[in-house]
Each structure stands twice: as structure tokens, then as C-alpha cells.
């Protein structure tokens, strides 16, 4: 079972539905409040052949956009439910059909749906349980107010697969790994990624593949804390740059904004 499916079941149980075979959605609860959980999962039968292994493709991205927008729409007059993106994505779908039918627009739609929900006051939390790669992650997870990640070797975040990243930058995989020791943004592991100020402290001591009741309780507690923090903080992404990690590893991002504000006029 994919990690995405495992954690959807663990967190939302019987509420899990599949509006399309490759997208799971559940209106569950966290800490007594409604939360919409969303994940992309493999569908070996998908007519989109390049999106059968859990990649974010045309169908998945437009479906996520719909599910997030519908939640936001129906909460317009009431309390804004939390939206939890469970992330286990080997990336976006690489295919000719996908490009022809404007996958870039589909990903924009998903990204914007999450961002718009966040700006409307929905706490949006991403929970990374597996891979969070490239454009897939930009569209499903990276627009969250708060990002949580499990401390596990199977949890990786990157702009491109390791082999492809090595090829494009004309290095060997071994070189790339060595470089990553001194250049943190090149690393693939969750701990180094967290050191860039991207996410909350990693959630350790959890069995990711086969979570027991204690594991689920731990994750739910962290989700609840992040949701309540998100409700009480600005709706933009400024929390990332205010983090300790960013002060250490994203000095350039901070300096650029400070200087830009000085010269803006």
C-alpha cells in the first residue's frame, strides 16, 4: 500500500473516499474540528499512463483543485475547516499527453486552490509521509501555512530525482551527495530540508509504513498544534522566513527582501 493511502486510512478511516481512483479525500476531524484530508495515490489502471504510480498528473491536479475549492466554497459562511495535504508524490507526470493538455495549468490550478484557501482563512497543513518531489510538491503541499514531515529515510524533498539532477548538472550521483554535505539546498533528506526553515520540527519515532495507534496519536497531536497555530498567524508564508533555519540558511532570501523594501519607494 502506498504511504499516502496508509496515512489517509490512519488519519481519516472510514471517511476516506476516492472521487477518482488516484485521489483520496476525507472529511475527518482533528481535535474536534472538521479537516479535509487529501492525497494522491497510485492507480495502475489509469488511462493516463504516465500518471499510474502516484504522480501528480492532469486528472489528479484538476481534481485536487476542485476538492479544495469546493471545501472553501462551502465554508464561506461558517468556520473554515482545516485542509491537510498528505504528501507522498514521486513528482509530476512526465508525458507527451500531459504536456499537450497543459499540465502546467493543472498544477497552477491546484497550487492556487490551496493558496486561495489559505488566504481565505483555512489552516492548510502539509504532512509529508514519503517523497515530495518537484512540481508535484509545488502544487500539492508547498502552499501550506505549516508543513510537517515524518523523520524517516523514505521522506525526501527535492526539485528533481537524484539521477536526473546529477545528469542535468553534469555530475555523478556520488558527487552530488558529497556536495550536499556543504550545500544544504542540494540534499534530499528531510532533516537538511528542515534546516532551511521550511517545516516544523520533524516528527520522529513513528512507524511510517505500518503506523500503530500511538504513532497515529503522535501525528494527530502535531497536526492539531499546527492547525491551531495556523489559525492564529498571518495567512501568507512569512512564517518560513521568520524561522530559525531561515535565519541561518536563507540569509540571502531575507537580505533581498530587506533591501528591496528600502529601494522600493
Partner 1 sequence: MTRTGSWRPTLARRSFIELPARERSRAILDEGTFRELLGPFDRLMSPWLPRQGIVPQSDDGVVVARGEIDGRAAVVLAVESAFQGGSIGEVGGSKMAGALELALRDYDDGRPVRPVILFETGGVRLQEANLGLAVIAELNAAVSALRPVVPVVGVSAGMVGCFGGMGITAGLCSYLILTRQARLGLNGPQVIEQEAGVEEFDSEDRALIYAVDGGEQRFEMGVADALVDDDASLVRDTVRAAFSLGVPEVHRSQEFGRYGELVERAASSPPTDPASLRTSWGRSEVSQRLADAVQEIEETPA
Considering the rule CB under 8 A, would residue 251 count as an interface residue with partner 1? yes
Considering the rule CB under 8 A, would residue 76 count as an interface residue with partner 1? no
CB neighbour class for 11 (10 Å; exposed up to 12, middle 13-18, buried from 19): buried
Q: How far is 130 from 88, CA to CA, in rounded Å?
A: 4
Select from 36-44, 113-121, 206-214, 215-223 the region that touches partner 1 (CB under 8 A): 113-121
Q: How far is 71 from 63, CA to CA, in rounded Å?
A: 12
Q: Binder to partner 1 among 140, 158, 224, 230 (CB under 8 A)?
A: 158
Considering the rule CB under 8 A, would residue 9 count as an interface residue with partner 1? no
Q: Binder to partner 1 among 15, 53, 95, 229 (CB under 8 A)?
A: 95
Q: How far is 149 from 196, CA to CA, in rounded Å?
A: 13
Considering the rule CB under 8 A, would residue 69 count as an interface residue with partner 1? yes
Minimum CB distance to partner 1, residue 49 (Å): 9
Considering the rule CB under 8 A, would residue 18 count as an interface residue with partner 1? no
Q: How far is 222 from 253, CA to CA, in rounded Å?
A: 28
Residue pair 72/117 in contact by the 8 Å Cβ criterion: yes
Q: Binder to partner 1 among 18, 165, 225, 239 (CB under 8 A)?
A: 165
Pattern of binders to partner 1 over 114-153, x per CB under 8 A? -xx--x--------------xx-xxx--xx----------
Q: How far is residue 149 from each of residues 85, 141, 213, 229, 236, measured CA to CA in Å?
A: 11, 11, 18, 16, 20
Q: How far is 85 from 101, CA to CA, in rounded Å?
A: 25
Select from 10-18, 25-33, 79-87, 93-101 the region that touches partner 1 (CB under 8 A): 93-101
Residue (1 or 105) nearer to partner 1, CB: 105
Residue (4 or 135) nearer to partner 1, CB: 135
- Could you tell me the end-to-end alpha-carbon distance of the chain, in angstroms, rounded to an integer? 55
Minimum CB distance to partner 1, residue 153 (Å): 17
Minimum CB distance to partner 1, residue 109 (Å): 4
Minimum CB distance to partner 1, residue 31 (Å): 26
Q: Binder to partner 1 among 173, 183, 191, 242 (CB under 8 A)?
A: 183
Residue (11 or 51) nearer to partner 1, CB: 51
The grid coordinates of residue 229 equal 497555530
Q: How far is 156 from 188, CA to CA, in rounded Å?
A: 5
21: left (phi over 0), alpha (psi -120 to 50) or beta: alpha
Considering the rule CB under 8 A, would residue 168 count as an interface residue with partner 1? yes
Q: How far is 64 from 111, CA to CA, in rounded Å?
A: 9
User: Among residue numbers 47 through 66, which ones bind partner 1 (CB under 8 A)?
Assistant: 47-48, 50, 58-59, 62-63, 65-66
Strands 23-30 and 17-20: antiparallel
Amino acid at each position: 500500500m502506498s504511504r499516502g493511502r496508509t496515512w489517509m486510512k490512519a488519519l481519516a478511516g472510514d471517511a476516506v473516499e476516492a472521487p477518482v481512483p488516484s485521489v483520496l479525500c476525507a472529511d475527518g476531524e482533528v481535535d474536534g474540528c472538521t479537516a479535509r484530508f487529501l492525497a494522491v495515490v497510485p492507480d495502475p489502471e489509469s488511462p493516463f499512463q504516465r500518471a499510474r504510480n502516484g504522480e501528480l498528473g492532469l486528472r489528479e491536479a484538476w481534481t485536487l483543485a476542485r476538492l479544495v475549492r469546493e471545501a472553501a466554497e462551502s465554508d464561506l459562511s461558517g468556520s473554515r475547516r482545516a485542509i491537510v495535504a498528505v504528501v507522498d508524490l514521486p513528482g509530476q507526470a512526465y508525458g507527451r499527453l500531459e504536456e499537450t493538455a497543459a499540465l502546467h495549468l493543472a498544477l497552477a490550478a491546484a497550487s492556487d486552490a490551496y493558496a486561495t484557501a489559505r488566504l481565505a482563512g483555512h489552516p492548510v497543513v502539509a504532512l509529508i509521509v514519503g517523497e515530495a518531489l518537484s512540481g508535484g510538491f509545488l502544487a500539492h503541499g508547498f502552499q501550506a501555512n505549516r508543513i510537517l514531515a515524518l523523520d524517516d529515510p523514505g521522506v525526501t524533498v527535492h526539485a528533481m530525482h537524484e539521477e536526473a539532477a546529477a545528469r542535468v548538472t553534469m555530475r555523478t550521483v556520488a558527487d552530488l551527495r558529497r556536495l550536499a554535505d556543504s550545500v544544504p539546498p542540494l540534499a534530499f533528506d528531510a532533516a537538511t530540508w528542515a534546516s532551511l526553515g521550511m517545516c516544523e520540527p520533524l516528527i520522529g519515532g513513528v512507524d511510517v509504513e505500518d503506523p500503530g495507534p500511538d504513532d497515529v496519536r503522535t501525528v494527530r497531536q502535531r497536526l492539531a498544534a499546527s492547525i491551531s497555530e495556523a489559525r492564529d498567524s498571518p495567512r501568507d508564508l512569512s512564517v518560513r522566513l521568520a524561522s530559525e533555519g531561515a535565519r541561518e540558511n536563507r540569509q540571502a532570501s531575507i537580505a533581498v527582501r530587506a533591501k528591496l523594501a528600502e529601494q522600493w519607494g
